Structures are given as C-alpha cells and as structure tokens.
Amino acid sequence: MTGRVATPLTLTAEQRQELTALIRAHSTPQKLAERARIIILAADSIGVGETARWLGIWRKTASTKRTFIVSDKRSLPRKRWQTADTSKTTPERLSDAPRSGAPGKFSPEQICAIIALACEDPQLSDLPISHWSQSEVARQAVKRGIVSSISHGSVGRFFKRISDQAPSHPLLAHAQTRP
C-alpha cells in the first residue's frame, strides 16, 4: 500500500535564491529558516518523512508546515512572491500570522501612576512602613482609585519591567570641587 503523494511545489531560480539567502543569514530566526528549508525540500520533491529526518524535526511538524505552506490557508508560496503586494519581504511572508490575545488589563497611564506611587515615601500615605512592598503598593493603588483591583504579582511585573531599563549608576555626574 502506497502513501499519499505530496502536493508538488515549484520555485523559480529567484525564489530559491531568496530562500537560500534567508537560510544562510545569521540574523534569520530559526523558525523562518526551518520553513524556508521545508519549502526548498518540497520543491526538490523530498517527502515529508525524509524532510523530517534531514531537518531533525518531528514528521508531524514537517507535514503540518508543508501543508500549511502549500495550502491556501496562508497562500501558496509561489503566489506569495508573485502577488502585487511587493511591500512584504520574504521573512514577512513566511512568518506566523498575528495571534489574538487578551487586551492589556492596565493602561500605560495606570502603570505609570503605580510606579510613581512606589517612588513616594510610604510615610506620606500614613502607613507605618519604611519601604513599599508589592502588596502594599497594590493595596494603595486600589485605595487611591488608580485601578479597581490589582495583584501584588502584577505590581512586581511592572517593577521588573522598569528595573531592566533603570541605569545601574547615577546619570548625573557628581559635582567636583576644585582646590
């Protein structure tokens, strides 16, 4: 009993050269390079099983990606290069479609207000503490009406996000006195 025959895929010399350059570029994300390799192997009439072995990926992954590339779900690769929309580059055409996700729960203004709150002296808020904790900032943000509810974990993520951007040394030089 024979297996299914893969859908044939033809590439022009220009398309093959473009894909090869994409694979060889050091800055190409590995997922895009893998898709480019799958396209080239499909154009060379290499089967799914052999493609999976050569690329060191699961057979199901090779099959799914190949079907996805060849099917009309994302438009046939040869159509991608021949469409009138020449503003997209090959990496843009091979990349994943944008994924939906839940919208952000907090606005940038709310995040800035929470961070500003953490920069205040806690004793000015009549709290018997010398330093803010994530839980205290969360409670105070709700109390002040900045947000309706927030967890201490969300406050911690805000702090972590800005700590990566904060300089490790003072930005202003200390005044030097001359003798």
Residue 104 CA to chain centroid, in angstroms? 16
Q: Which amino acid is at 105?
A: K
Do 122 and 73 share a structural domain? no
For residue 82, pLDDT over 90 is answered with no
How far apart CA 111 and CA 78 sit, in angstroms, is 46
In a domain, 7, yes or no: no
Q: Mean pLDDT, to the nearest integer, of 30-53? A: 90
Do 89 and 50 share a structural domain? yes
Q: Mean pLDDT, to the nearest integer, of 26-40? A: 89
Do 114 and 60 share a structural domain? no
Q: For residue 29, what are the domain limits? A: 13-94
Confidence of residue 78 (pLDDT cuts 50, 70, 90): very low
The number of folded domains in the chain is: 2
In a domain, 171, yes or no: no
Q: Is the pTM of this model over 0.85?
A: no
For residue 44, pLDDT over 80 is answered with yes
User: What share of residues in the chain are helix, strand, coil (percent, to 5)?
Assistant: 55, 0, 45
pLDDT at 100: 78
Do 67 and 29 share a structural domain? yes
In a domain, 157, yes or no: yes
Do 43 and 90 share a structural domain? yes
Of the three residues 94, 122, 144, the one that is the final residue of a domain is 94
Do 120 and 74 share a structural domain? no
Of the three residues 94, 125, 149, the one that is the final residue of a domain is 94
40 CB neighbour count, 10 Å cutoff: 18
Of the three residues 49, 71, 94, the one that is the final residue of a domain is 94
The predicted-structure confidence for 125-165, as pLDDT tens digits, reads as follows 888 888 889 999 999 999 999 999 999 999 999 988 876 66
User: Between residues 170 and 76, which one has the greater pLDDT?
Assistant: 170
For residue 74, pLDDT over 50 is answered with no
Do 24 and 80 share a structural domain? yes
In a domain, 31, yes or no: yes
Give the closest residue to 58 by CA, choosing from 74, 33, 38, 28: 38
For residue 170, pLDDT over 80 is answered with no
Do 120 and 89 share a structural domain? no
Apex 176 CA angle, 170 and 179, nearest 5: 165
